[in-house]
Amino acid sequence: MKIRYSFLLILLAATLAAQTPKTPPPTRPDDRLKVDVLLVVAHPDDETGVSPYLAKLLDEHKRVAAVYLTHGEAGHNNMGPERAASLGAVRETELRHAMTKLGVEDVWFLDGLDTPSQDVLQSLGRWHHGAALEEVVRMVRLTRPEVIITWLPAVFIGEDHGDHQASGVLATEAFDMAGDPSIFPAQLAAPVRVNETLLEGLRPWQPKKIYYFSDAQDQDQFKGTGPLLSVNEISPVRKAPYGLIAMQCFGFHLTQYRNYIETFSTLDEEGQLKKAREDWSDPIQLTFGKSNVGGNLTDDVFAGITEAPIGFVQHQAEVAEPPAGISLELAGPWGFYEAFRRAHGLQHLPKAAVPEIAIATPAALLIPVVLHNNTSSAKEVALSLATPEGWSDQTGVGSYSVPAGSDVPVQISVMSPKTTADKVDEITCRAEADGKSVGVIKFHVRRRSGGLPQN
């Protein structure tokens, strides 16, 4: 007891000494937080898509940290009755164990709510986009990554979680903004009073590269869009394939994958190795986003990266020409991504050749469109929908009066057949004015038995 009291006195003396004006405050950012790679994702377990690669980077003494936009509280729980915020707390713990095993020590959870839909706009709305962006920019300035790895912001048939897409949107925005001293200046202002809590004393930070990964069902479409990373390579440090290391870390996500994990954990080492190879042999396909240090799409992630920091790089935005005359355009997430890619110089990112989505049948498919009238007179525009057999109950089609120089947003919906299908259905939306076609949108839909709602 006496020793403890003495120790407290020493601590108090040291604290008082640290607060005397003679001791200058630290001027360099805290080096313990500096990383080579910052992973920005949505849910605890999202790291699994790239964790074999993270394990390899850690072997190479790269520093890795991760930011999760939500706690995954909308997931299911196969371990107990805990749901909602309590499930979020459980999943945070699962994730921290998984990342510790992987070798990632610094993990942050932000304030986004797990939003189960395929609509990125729902997630951004529920996360209060600006507030979430400020948090992600803070994490970039705090951790000073050379490279950001995140979800591909795009709509594809696949898991297609709106939260995944939204984390990719925010990471991209933060990549372009964190180095800009005019963005979130309170983060950069230095506090002058003791215990001042509103000014943060950070520095602008310009990351060098950003890469994406995707949970789209068809991974072939990403071939050649970035480096391809093996999961079968053997870790010289852990003497096991990176894919197996990743699966062993994944083994902490029991609330989500209990049956699989429990079966996997009953296998001996050789059995686990065989199972890992059977279930995960495909390499990880990264998609190149942007580089501020040159290089090509398929170069190694760290090609061209040195320790020297780079200054703020003003990103190049492209301004869209307004469509001439009367026109029809896909809106909602698809319309947003057109604008987003132009704004961030990401027109090269892959997108589905024909806009696509998967829906759980039976469900109403929603096709958000906008009618543009860039003429000097009001126009009547007729919207129609052609569907394969079995689709029914169309709404939103018909005639619209579009004032001169105006846009009219329209939500079209059509009820799917009750059956699932392996092939995609093609749905065609047409707009006509003055007896002539003014726009055609084709849309591909896969009918599946489950999965996230469209929005």
Q: What are the residues binding Zn ion (CB under 5 A)? A: 43, 46
In whole angstroms, give the CA distance from residue 117 to residue 366: 13
Q: At closest approach, how far in Å is the CB of 246 from Zn ion?
A: 15
Q: At closest approach, how far in Å is the CB of 43 from Zn ion?
A: 3
Q: At closest approach, how far in Å is the CB of 102 from Zn ion?
A: 17
In whole angstroms, give the CA distance from residue 428 to residue 412: 12
Residues 6+ apart with CB under 8 A from 3: none
Q: At closest approach, how far in Å is the CB of 241 from Zn ion?
A: 24
CB-count burial class (<10 Å; 0-12, 13-18, 19+) for 37: buried
- Give yes or no for a contact between 150 and 37, defined as CB atoms under 8 angstroms apart: no
| Residue among 287 and 373 whose Cβ is closer to Zn ion | 287
Q: How many CA atoms lie within 13 A of 128 on its CB side?
A: 7
| Residue among 114 and 176 whose Cβ is closer to Zn ion | 114
CB-count burial class (<10 Å; 0-12, 13-18, 19+) for 316: exposed
Q: Which residue is nearest to Zn ion (CB)?
A: 43
| Residue among 106 and 159 whose Cβ is closer to Zn ion | 159
- Give φ, ψ of 368 to 5 degrees: -80, 125
| Residue among 46 and 356 whose Cβ is closer to Zn ion | 46
Q: At closest approach, how far in Å is the CB of 281 from Zn ion?
A: 22
Strand-pair partners of 285: 228
Q: At closest approach, how far in Å is the CB of 45 from Zn ion?
A: 6
| Residue among 162 and 350 whose Cβ is closer to Zn ion | 162
| Residue among 41 and 410 whose Cβ is closer to Zn ion | 41
Tell me 224's DSSP state. T
Residue written as token pair 């169309």: 394
| Residue among 76 and 274 whose Cβ is closer to Zn ion | 76
Give the DSSP letter string of 225-253.
SS-EE-SSSBPTTTSSBHHHHHHHHHTT-
In whole angstroms, give the CA distance from residue 72 to residue 50: 18
| Residue among 43 and 341 whose Cβ is closer to Zn ion | 43
Q: At closest approach, how far in Å is the CB of 323 from Zn ion?
A: 35
Q: At closest approach, how far in Å is the CB of 123 from Zn ion?
A: 11
Residues 6+ apart with CB under 8 A from 360: 448, 449, 450, 451, 452, 453
